[in-house]
Amino acid sequence: MTETLVSRLESWCATDLPAVVDRRSSWTYATLAARSRRIAAHLLDGAPDLGDARVAFFIPPGLDYVAVLLGIWRAGGIAVPLAIAHPPAELAFVIEDCGASIVISTPETAHIVASAAAVSPSPRSFFVVRDGKLKLLSRTSSTAQHARERSESAARRAMILYTSGTTGKPKGVVTTHGNIAAQIQSLVSAWDWRAEDRTLLVLPLHHVHGIINVLGCALWSGATCETFPRFDAESVWERLSSGEISVFTAVPTIYYRLIASWDAASEDERRRRSEGVRAIRLMMSGSAALPLRTLERWREISSHVLLERYGMTEIGMALANPLRGVRRPGFVGQPLPGVDVRLAGENGDPVPAGTPGELEIRGAGVFGEYWRRPDATREAFRDGWFRTGDVAVVEDGAYRLLGRTSIDIIKSGGHKISALEIEDVLREHPAIAECAVVGVEDDEWGQRVCVAVELRPAEQLTMADLEPWARARLAPYKIPREVVAVPALPRNAMGKVVKPDVAVLFQSKVSGPGEGQRAEGKGKGKGERAKGRSLPPP
Ligand code: MLC
Ligand code: AMP
């Protein structure tokens, strides 16, 4: 029988190894397993199986998150982790789209989730969790409606993660227990995870980077996962330099922040940090392109050459620089174990070496479907290969990413963002007649979200006006950091907005007053801020 994360967890229960460390305590594998069993029993309420019921949960990283995740799987449910940073409007979309019949939060966050869940009239049960104990707050449906044989078999759906695409609203990526096991096993083998490892989780737990690369690999291996409620450079440095951490992975923005914190520290403190961090055996970066400058500064500070790898919500990880051997700056290495990779041209045929093509992926870790989106699922595959939408080239045997096929996909702080989704929301603003959202290169964030707007007659719009309005509707990382008003958006002969020309508005110097109004957001990290200008009407 194929192993799953739950069966692996059982195998560590006989040890007294710590599985999860959070702000409250250190919890052994045996305790974690016991808590997850109790949660499963509570969710089942006497029924044999949850029958693939979707269980959405809004829990910060820590024991309760992990126990709930495993409890859902033990009970035969599909886990849908909600993003802690999201406003109720975005949470409501996910809860509704996945058709969650059970929602779980902490007592402290119950009001946020309750207001999100209340938006839809669908019947559901609402629990809060504390120290591995569930308490029912309200129930308008029977939890276990479709009872059937209980199992965590490889083919069974396990998790739905929401990801932005080119179609506006996020889509639910469904992975099975088998997909998750394959994604984790590939990394455990490539990066030599073992029970003696101790990792630091500073990433959010609604993305594969945090769930698979950190938590999943640690639990699979009997290692220890120290969780942080959220990223904070000073406390992360404290742990990284403690000599107790062996594996660390993060997005480039986090390394940027750690470098800024090191730069701001006293000379003694810098020395202490630099010496302490050397004890780590493996430091990795991914989810967005690692700028050369960040890689080099980190090498000077820590003596580590960051291992850069490439992945995606739909596939887990696909390409990586080697654990041992030369890590080439600017490259994402070679296929990970169990992953087939090819580069395809527009007609779908593989391209010759040295020619750029779209990255396509095959393997046991690749997801099977977008939740209730058969058309989107069909379009995502070509001859059994998953089309990533990323363009790459192979040079001297290693892959180098060149960009994306869609300009409407933005990566900011490691989060994938759909420009179209933001535009749909912004068009609801009373001052905005039309808008175009673009990602503009940024040292700290990779890309920052910017918007050009055509205003309604006699309207004005500054970032100060837009920010609070957007904050109520969009996750913080989707909020535009700069807005520029133009008489007319640049369009081609077909009337389609020309996004590269929009991006230029934010990269060029101010060309004079009266050509458009602009206001900058509070985004940090760009030494030389671009000044905007207006385009003349076409
Ligand atoms: C937040 N801010 C931003 C921003 N996000 N500014 C510009 N662009 C953005 N994207 C601003 C806020 O408004 C706020 O400003 C300040 O930064 C702090 O905000 P925050 O929400 O507290 O952010 P912070 O905690 O600092 O978050 C930064 C971060 C976070 C890098 C820790 O974004 C993060 O955890 N990113 C990782 C995402 C991830 O895990 N991706 C993996 C996807 S999976 P002010 O002025 O109010 O202070 C994947 C596959 C793969 O990609 O390959 O791994
Ligand atoms: P997500 O959909 O959030 O899982 O993000 C996946 C996307 O992140 C990929 O399609 C890439 O565009 C991007 N990505 C991941 N790793 C890297 C990397 N090392 N370099 C550049 N882009 C990356």
pLDDT of residue 139: 77
- Which has the higher per-residue pLDDT, 522 or 69? 69
Residue closest by Cα to atom 3 of ligand 1: 477
Question: Using CA atoms in the order 114, 216, 180, 7, what is the torsion angle rounded to 10 degrees?
Answer: -100
Evaluate: CB of 87 within 6 angstroms of ligand 1. no
Spacing, Cα 309 to ligand 2 middle (Å): 9
Evaluate: CB of 312 within 6 angstroms of ligand 2. yes
Please state, as a whole number, how many other Cβ atoms lie within 10 Å of the Cβ of residue 424: 14
pLDDT of residue 144: 52
- Residue 532 predicted with pLDDT over 50: no
Euclidean distance between CA atoms 461 and 157, whole angstroms: 46
Residue 276 in contact with residue 298, Cβ under 8 Å? no
pLDDT of residue 150: 53
Widest pairwise Cα distance in the chain: 72
Most informative mutation of 191, 251, 259 for ligand 1 (most atoms within 8 A of CB): 251
Residue closest by Cα to atom 8 of ligand 2: 287
Evaluate: CB of 123 within 6 angstroms of ligand 1. no
The model's pLDDT over 97-111, given as tens digits with 9 standing for 90+, comes to 999 999 999 999 999
Evaluate: CB of 471 within 6 angstroms of ligand 1. no
Q: Where are the beta strands (DSSP E) in 131-197?
A: 133-139, 157-163, 171-176
Query: What share of the chain in percent tops pLDDT 90?
Result: 85
- Residue 122 predicted with pLDDT over 90: no
| Ligand nearest, relative to CA of residue 477 | 1
Question: Using CA atoms in the order 458, 463, 469, 473, what is the torsion angle rounded to 10 degrees?
Answer: 120
User: Position of tokens 């458009």?
Assistant: 516
Quickly list DSSP for 389-458.
EEEEEEETTEEEEEEES-TTEEEETTEEEEHHHHHHHHTTSTTEEEEEEEEEEETTTEEEEEEEEEEPTT
| Ligand nearest, relative to CA of residue 314 | 2
Q: Containing H/E element for 180? A: helix 177-190
The whole-model pTM stands at: 0.93
